[in-house]
Amino acid sequence: MIAITLSEKNAVMERFPNVHIVRTMRQDSKRHHYFMTEDPGPMNLLRRMRGEKVPTRANNKKRRR
């Protein structure tokens, strides 16, 4: 599980509606956090949103050799 923000949650849910995202502290409105499972598709989207390098298939093939 990885921590995400509300805006990241909304963007991921828009693109991947079946991804598992959990919100903590449901009863208190201001003390909650969002966590998402580390599935490949949503993780690549999250990395692109955060400006991190996204691994590609070409990079993976070069590493194996």
Q: What mean pLDDT comes out for the span 5-14?
A: 94
Q: What are the residue ranges spanned by the domains of the chain?
A: 2-54
The model's confidence at residue 43, banded by pLDDT at 50, 70 and 90, is very high
Token pair in block for residue 28 = 């208190």
Q: Which residue has the tokens 């991921």?
A: 12
Global confidence as pTM: 0.72
Do 34 and 5 touch, CB atoms closer than 8 A?
Answer: yes
